């Protein structure tokens, strides 16, 4: 996520024994991914894979890198700190002080990016209850959420009725998982502009 005052944040972690994952979060601008790639190349890092999400003026990205000479993950703490500092300088622009976190949390890239964007206080994912569309007098797009206990089976059923949009079920499952709930089964039904999960 972000540090104080919306400053960019970087996180470096080794994953799967093969790559080092570098998480970046900050203000988006034209050419930013090119600048990040150039810095990584200058620091002798080989970008194996990368994925980025952007919304409004915010960007969250994960770069999977190896050492360009050995093709192995980066383990040297001093080198990782140097990489983080260079990347913070690229992201920072003139926005103030950057913060860095190092984590060993192993999470799928989609979930990691979802969490980064959701935790970003400068990123408004939902506006007026439905991605910029205000509810009219005949249609109420305010989400309706119910939780029902099923004592005989030992689980709860969460029902969500809201405005339909792409990746809605994914976002719901990620949110529940981030709240430490185990999702055993999930489904979605679209009904006009609504979705029922």
Q: What is the pLDDT of residues 67-101, one digit of tens each?
A: 999 998 888 889 998 998 898 888 876 454 343 43
Within 10 A of 97 (CB to CB), how many other CB atoms are there?
A: 11
**pLDDT on residue 136:** 44
Domain span at residue 155 reads 144-196
Who's near 173: CB < 8 A, 6+ residues apart?
A: 183, 186
20 and 83 inside one domain: yes
Which H or E element spans position 92? helix 77-92
Distance, in Å, from the CA atom of 51 to the CA atom of 80, rounded to the nearest integer, reads 20
Sign (positive or negative) of CA dihedral 115, 120, 125, 127: positive
Evaluate whether residue 125 is within a structural domain: no
Distance, in Å, from the CA atom of 183 to the CA atom of 197, rounded to the nearest integer, reads 12
State the burial class of residue 179 (Cβ atoms within 10 Å of its Cβ: 0-12, 13-18, 19+).
exposed
Distance, in Å, from the CA atom of 160 to the CA atom of 158, rounded to the nearest integer, reads 7
Within 10 A of 87 (CB to CB), how many other CB atoms are there?
A: 25
Evaluate whether residue 127 is within a structural domain: no
79 and 168 inside one domain: no
Evaluate whether residue 134 is within a structural domain: no
**pLDDT on residue 134:** 43
Q: Give the predicted TM-score (pTM) of the model.
A: 0.53
Give backbone dihedrals phi and psi of 186, rounded to 5 degrees, phi first.
Answer: -145, 145
pLDDT digit string (tens) for the chain, length 197 residues: 334 444 555 555 545 558 888 888 888 888 888 899 999 999 999 998 888 887 777 788 888 889 999 998 888 889 998 998 898 888 876 454 343 434 444 556 666 666 666 666 555 444 333 334 444 444 556 778 888 888 888 888 888 888 888 878 888 888 888 878 888 888 888 877 888 77
Evaluate whether residue 137 is within a structural domain: no
Mean pLDDT of the chain: 73
Evaluate whether residue 169 is within a structural domain: yes
């Amino acid at each position: 996520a972000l540090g104080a005052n919306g400053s960019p944040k970087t996180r470096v972690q080794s994953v799967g024994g093969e790559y080092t994952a570098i998480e970046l979060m900050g203000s988006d601008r034209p050419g930013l991914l090119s600048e990040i790639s150039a810095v990584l190349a200058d620091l002798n890092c080989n970008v194996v894979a990368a994925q980025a999400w952007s919304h409004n003026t915010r960007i969250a990205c994960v770069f999977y890198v190896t050492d360009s000479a050995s093709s192995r993950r980066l383990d040297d703490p001093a080198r990782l700190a140097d990489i983080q500092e260079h990347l913070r300088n690229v992201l920072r622009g003139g926005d103030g002080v950057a913060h860095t976190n190092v984590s060993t949390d192993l999470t799928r890239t989609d979930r990691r990016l979802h969490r980064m964007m959701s935790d970003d206080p400068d990123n408004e994912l939902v506006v007026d209850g439905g991605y910029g569309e205000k509810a009219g007098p005949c249609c109420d797009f305010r989400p309706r959420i119910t939780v029902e206990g099923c004592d005989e089976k030992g689980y709860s059923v969460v029902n969500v009725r809201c405005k339909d949009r792409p990746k809605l079920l994914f976002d719901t499952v990620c949110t529940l998982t981030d709240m430490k709930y185990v999702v055993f089964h999930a489904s979605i039904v679209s009904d006009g502009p609504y979705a029922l999960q």
